[in-house]
Amino acid sequence: MNHSTLMLGTLVAWLACASSPAAADAVPPRLYEVTAETIMPHLEESLRHAVTREQRCLHAHDLADAFPILSHESLKGCRLSDAIHRGHAVDYRLVCTGGNGTTGVARWQLDTDQWRGMLEVKLGGKNMTFYQRVTARPLGACEP
């Protein structure tokens, strides 16, 4: 079985998981090369763009938590919720507790050769918008 066939099979299984929680548990996580780019247009030129890279095991259930910026203190009490599955895409709404006015949306595009996510956040108290783009390229099976 070649790499494309394996990835297509993984994608088909993942899409089946979107409507079946029991089936989602049957699809194992995979190891990905994850690149996260954070873009903050309100900052001066030299500080606007930050990039991180890591290898990480991801499962279809992990998409709502796959944006590293969600663990930042400024987004404490925020999470992605209300997943809407549309073909090869999944949309989320950013839900924040505490009444700080922070809002946002995220979209994942799930292709056979990579998963791409974009999170757009508007910080309510500061009226600033920033983005985080995540690209996950499959490397193989996760270590046990």
Residues 121, 69 contacting (CB under 8 angstroms): yes
Q: Could you report the per-residue pLDDT of 107-136, keeping only the tens digit for each?
A: 999 988 899 999 999 988 777 889 999 999
- State the pLDDT at residue 27: 57
Tally of CB atoms within 10 A around 35: 15
Residues 67, 134 contacting (CB under 8 angstroms): yes
Mean pLDDT of the chain: 79
Query: What range defines the domain where residue 72 resides?
Result: 3-141
- State the pLDDT at residue 39: 86
| CA–CA separation, 47 and 93 (whole Å) | 27
Pairing of strands 78-86, 49-58: unpaired
DSSP E strands, the chain: 30-39, 49-58, 78-86, 89-96, 103-110, 115-123, 128-141
DSSP state of 117: E
Q: Could you report the per-residue pLDDT of 2-33, keeping only the tens digit for each?
A: 443 333 333 334 444 444 343 344 457 899 99
- Determine the straight-line distance between the first and last CA of the chain, rounded to whole angstroms: 22
**Percentage of the chain modeled with pLDDT above 70:** 75
How many domains does the chain divide into?
A: 1
Pairing of strands 89-96, 78-86: antiparallel
